[in-house]
Amino acid sequence: MRYTAPAPVAAPVLQVEKLVKRYRDVVALDGVSLQIGAGEIFALLGPNGAGKTTLIGAVCGLVKKTSGRIHLFGTDLDVDALGPRFQVGLVPQEVNFDPFFTVTESLRIQLGYYGRLPDEARIAEVLEALDLTAKANAQTRALSGGMKRRLLIAKALVHRPKLVFLDEPTAGVDVELRRDLWTYVRQLRAQGTTVVLTTHYLEEAEELADRVGIINEGRLLLVEDKRALLQRMGKKRLVVSFERPVARLPEAFTGGSVLSEDGKGLVYTERPGHPRAAEVLHALYASGLPVQEVETRASKLEDVLIEVLHGREVAP
């Protein structure tokens, strides 16, 4: 598969160069190079086991890299492993707090980990933002799944990190929390925070991301501006149903249109070099075919991801 070298980024807060991580015979990261720019929302996408969590772990100090270099805020982590990481927040994939502390206590402790003084005003602010104020004095083990997620996010943000990693933050959460989180991530960006997000919900990346990276088997396959990517690889599709079966399509439709087996419908997929969906639609009505209903559908990030993972990427 073709490897697209990611373009350099202005004012990178994170620079990863040829990062390799091996677990015995598993190559979790196979020479990943990537830059994350200040203030962007970057979505890292890829199937289970692709290496997303390992990459985040290597940056955050939870995974020991095999080789390669990582610069955080311009500092080489081999030179100073701790200083730059104080400015980073992580919402981990797995719940990781002590069940016997209260919500407020666990945020105080978190501030301590990051070398900050207790700051009750900041704690109150974060609790409010994540709708946890009513649970401030509850023990964390008594929280519902959704509330635990909210607390994980609060913990990752309480020390005002400049760079935040959200590793599958909405896996298994309800729609309301997902919406809240999206709003909150946008607020973070408005405040200048850089956000790196991994997610299974392509809808989430489509909604939030400025740039997208696609990783598979430890290799970055593509890094690109989300809009540019959707424009480059996205296809428009026309789904037409007929009032009665059509035996065969007029000549004009043979390129790119597919008649269903029962003759009751047609699908046209727009491709570079072929007529635009709108032109086909026009011709369709002009042809006198018994059109009943027409539906247009633009492809989503999900379609693009599948194409890239199957090596069917269209060259830029």
- By beta-carbon proximity to ligand ADP, the closer residue of 28 and 127 is 28
CB of 52 to ligand ADP, least distance (A): 3
CB of 237 to ligand ADP, least distance (A): 30
- By beta-carbon proximity to Mg ion, the closer residue of 92 and 161 is 92
Inter-helix orientation angle 120-129/145-157, to 10°: 140
46 binds, among Mg ion, ligand ADP, none (CB under 5 to 8 A by kind): ligand ADP
Tokens representing residue 212 in the block: 């997208």
58 binds, among ligand ADP, Mg ion, none (CB under 5 to 8 A by kind): none
216 binds, among ligand ADP, Mg ion, none (CB under 5 to 8 A by kind): none
- By beta-carbon proximity to ligand ADP, the closer residue of 23 and 113 is 23
CB of 47 to ligand ADP, least distance (A): 7
- Cβ neighbour number for residue 310 with a 10 Å cutoff: 9
| Three-point CA angle 145, 59, 36, nearest 5° | 100
Cα distance from N-terminal residue to C-terminal residue, the chain: 14
Tokens representing residue 227 in the block: 């809009």
Which run of H or E residues covers position 151? helix 145-157
CB of 94 to ligand ADP, least distance (A): 11
- By beta-carbon proximity to ligand ADP, the closer residue of 14 and 277 is 14
Nearest residue to Mg ion, by Cβ distance, number only: 53
| Residues of the shown chain interacting with Mg ion in the complex, contacts defined by CB under 5 A | 52-53
Residue whose C-alpha is closest to residue 126's, from 149, 98, 160, 75? 160
- By beta-carbon proximity to ligand ADP, the closer residue of 177 and 214 is 214
Q: What does the buried/exposed string (b/e) look like for 250-289 if buried means 16 or more CB atoms within 10 Å of the residue's CB?
A: eeebeebbebeeeebbbebbbeeeebebeebbeebeeeeb
- By beta-carbon proximity to ligand ADP, the closer residue of 46 and 213 is 46
CB of 109 to ligand ADP, least distance (A): 25
Strand partners, 5: none
- By beta-carbon proximity to Mg ion, the closer residue of 15 and 53 is 53
Which run of H or E residues covers position 54? helix 52-60
CB of 93 to ligand ADP, least distance (A): 7
Strand partners, 296: 238
| Residues of the shown chain interacting with ligand ADP in the complex, contacts defined by CB under 6 A | 23, 26, 28, 46, 48-54
Whether 92 and 171 have beta carbons less than 8 Å apart is answered as: no
48 binds, among Mg ion, ligand ADP, none (CB under 5 to 8 A by kind): ligand ADP
CB of 23 to Mg ion, least distance (A): 14
